[in-house]
Structure 1
Amino acid sequence: MTDELLMGELTSALSCQSGMKIHINYAEKLPGGDINETFKLNTDSGLLFLKMNDARSYPDMFEREFMGLETIYATNTLSVPRPLATGRSGGKVFLVTEFIEKGGANPDFWENFAAGLSRMHRHTQAHFGLPQANYIGTIKQYNTPYTSWSVFYAFNRLQPLTREAYDRHVIDKQMVTQMESLWRQLPRIFPEEPPALLHGDLWSGNFMVGPDGRARVYDPAVYYGNREMDLAMARLFGGFDTRFYYTYQSMFPLAHEWQQRISVCQLYPLMVHLLLFGGSYYNSVKEVLDTF
């Protein structure tokens, strides 16, 4: 972060897109981050959060994430870091948001979190999907609109990842055949339900406790989909208290036999992880497919 050109571009983008003059004093590299470089920016207007990646590989990734954060922010339901600027400098693309300090959870943290999610899920539109593709991690996420969730899930979620996994020799022809069999069964598995605004990547690594003791979610992969996808993703890797699920169910009950659909909903993030992190997720995918 000693690149003066990049610092200048960031300063200009922040000042232009936020509508006020912002000067960056210094940047501190943050640990972690499997996908992006992340920094804490000290500015004369307070602390900000920066992440960067390669512009050639992911030219529009942060532009899409910026739009996703704006979409959730506008609902006034779940709290997200306010998106401030996005752009490109040299070989890097960047996203700047407000910096969220960690806090201690309120006694009603999980109930409040679930209530916010249920309110967000009530935001709907006529079609599943979005006007444009976006990303989950570094995997492109297709959002071609469909009126049927089963068609959307097959054509925009499972089919593209199955094709990519087969082309990379991560899965074999037998698993492709199992996937195709599952796609044909989706209309009988999922009941009809209106599209819901989803976070899209709701696991324990994508939320934190904010300074007010309430949840902040980030790294969204938003689209309008079946709301069971967010709940199934939350269950996949743990980290959510049972109060979260009980409260959600009491406020916005899921359709009958939702428990039988959890593994089908989890198949998409499992395929994403198989592509991102390798064969350790192969058996998890196979276990789901073997039940159909």
Structure 2
Amino acid sequence: MTDDILLHELSVKLSAQSGMKIQINHAERIHGGDINETWKLETNEGAWFLKLNDARRYPDMFAKEYSGLEALRKTAAITLPQPVCHGKANGRAFLVTTFLDKGGAVPDFWENFAASLARLHRNTQSHFGFYESNYIGSLKQYNTPFSSWPVFYAFNRLMPLARQAFDRHLLDKTALGQVEQLCRRLPSIFPEEPPALLHGDLWSGNFMVGPDGRACIYDPAVYYGHREMDLAMTRLFGGFDNRFYHAYQEQYPLATGWQARIGICQLYPLLVHVLLFGGSYVDSVKEILRENT
């Protein structure tokens, strides 16, 4: 990394946060996602993890991610990188967290992961949503509060994305009508449950085996929602080990009929992928709509 302005701002922020003079000795580019650059910062006080993106395109993305990580961290339910600081310098937005080395999984890794997620989901509040909007991937995620999960899911999740997909000619009028029809039926589909604190984007690419051999989660899209959303998301893009699902069911049993709701819960992340990537995700959305309308 050769951006001296950015490196200076990072040193200032890290020093202020830690109460010690932090000097960045080396920055190593590491594998990251599609939106952000990711780096390992070697300093006189150990290693830190850095995410960078374009501050003009995503001016508040890392501030929102910082808030989400803080909300998850305060539950002490599961391991995650601790957010350290965020800010902007020289046209770049940045987020710094603690750096976690990868470890080898303990024998009960999946059972422990499930128990940790169940503990997270037992954190609740009076309404569905979050105190601010945030992001899922590079898309804005709306968290306007509602006391009803079906209303929240329809107005903050399914309909905004379906309309965007229609406007961009990714979904046709028939598919949009099917989403509207499904939204009208949601109150009869979902049993009442208290709002659960969700990771919000829990797929196999957003967890790792931490240094203690247990699950560490990151890159959240936090809100209080129906906990079947997190569980359904884990079944996309490769899925988790079956031991995870059995253990979760023992820790915090899902309401009767959860199997029939998996596809409906997966509609939201699949619509996200339609807008970001198009392609086969459109077919996946249409298949779920055909099965549920």
TM value normalised by structure 1: 0.98
Query: What pairs with 1:152-171 in structure 2 (closer than 5 Å)?
Result: 152-171=152-171
C-alpha displacement of 1:52: 0.7
**Structure 2 residue matching 1:33: 3-state secondary structure:** coil
Alignment partner, residue 102 of structure 1: 102
Alignment partner, residue 255 of structure 2: 255
C-alpha displacement of 1:239: 3.9
C-alpha displacement of 1:174: 1.2
C-alpha displacement of 1:64: 0.5
C-alpha displacement of 1:35: 1.3
- Number of aligned residue pairs: 292
The 2-side partners of 1:245 and 1:176 are apart by: 32
Query: What pairs with 1:190-201 in structure 2 (closer than 5 Å)?
Result: 190-201=190-201
Deviation per residue, 1:35-74 (Å, 9 max, x gap): 1111110011111110111111111100010111111111
The 2-side partners of 1:150 and 1:19 are apart by: 46
The 2-side partners of 1:19 and 1:126 are apart by: 37
- Residue 219 in structure 1 maps to residue 219 in structure 2: yes
- Residue 76 in structure 1 maps to residue 76 in structure 2: yes
Of residues 256-265 and 159-168 in structure 1, the stretch that sits farther from structure 2 once superposed is 159-168
Deviation per residue, 1:60-118 (Å, 9 max, x gap): 10001011111111111111001111001121111001111111000010111000000
Q: Let me know the Cα RMSD of the aligned residues.
A: 0.9
Could you tell me whether the CA contact under 8 Å between 1:69 and 1:82 is conserved in 2? yes
Which amino acid counterpart does residue 198 of structure 2 have in structure 1? Answer: L
Alignment partner, residue 118 of structure 1: 118
The 2-side partners of 1:239 and 1:173 are apart by: 31
Alignment partner, residue 268 of structure 1: 268
Of residues 237-246 and 247-256 in structure 1, the stretch that sits farther from structure 2 once superposed is 237-246
C-alpha displacement of 1:14: 1.4
C-alpha displacement of 1:26: 1.3
The 1-side partners of 2:86 and 2:157 are apart by: 27
Deviation per residue, 1:122-179 (Å, 9 max, x gap): 0000000011100011010000000000000000001110121112111111111111
Mark the runs of 5 or more structure 2 residues left unpaired by the alignment: none
Could you tell me whether the CA contact under 8 Å between 1:84 and 1:96 is conserved in 2? yes
**Structure 2 residue matching 1:42: 3-state secondary structure:** strand
The 2-side partners of 1:111 and 1:32 are apart by: 27
Could you tell me whether the CA contact under 8 Å between 1:18 and 1:85 is conserved in 2? no
C-alpha displacement of 1:33: 2.0
Query: What pairs with 1:1-292 in structure 2 (closer than 5 Å)?
Result: 1-291=1-291, 292=293
The 1-side partners of 2:37 and 2:238 are apart by: 25
Mark the runs of 5 or more structure 1 residues left unpaired by the alignment: none
C-alpha displacement of 1:254: 0.4
**Structure 2 residue matching 1:150: 3-state secondary structure:** helix
Which amino acid counterpart does residue 182 of structure 2 have in structure 1? Answer: L
C-alpha displacement of 1:22: 1.5
The 2-side partners of 1:126 and 1:16 are apart by: 36
**Structure 1 residue matching 2:41: 3-state secondary structure:** strand
**Structure 2 residue matching 1:236: 3-state secondary structure:** coil
C-alpha displacement of 1:15: 1.5
Which amino acid counterpart does residue 138 of structure 2 have in structure 1? Answer: T
Which amino acid counterpart does residue 83 of structure 1 have in structure 2? Answer: P
Identity of aligned residues (%): 66
**Structure 1 residue matching 2:125: 3-state secondary structure:** coil
Of residues 238-247 and 214-223 in structure 1, the stretch that sits farther from structure 2 once superposed is 238-247
Which amino acid counterpart does residue 147 of structure 2 have in structure 1? Answer: T
C-alpha displacement of 1:238: 2.3
Of residues 79-88 and 165-174 in structure 1, the stretch that sits farther from structure 2 once superposed is 165-174
The 1-side partners of 2:268 and 2:192 are apart by: 19
Deviation per residue, 1:261-281 (Å, 9 max, x gap): 000000000000111112220
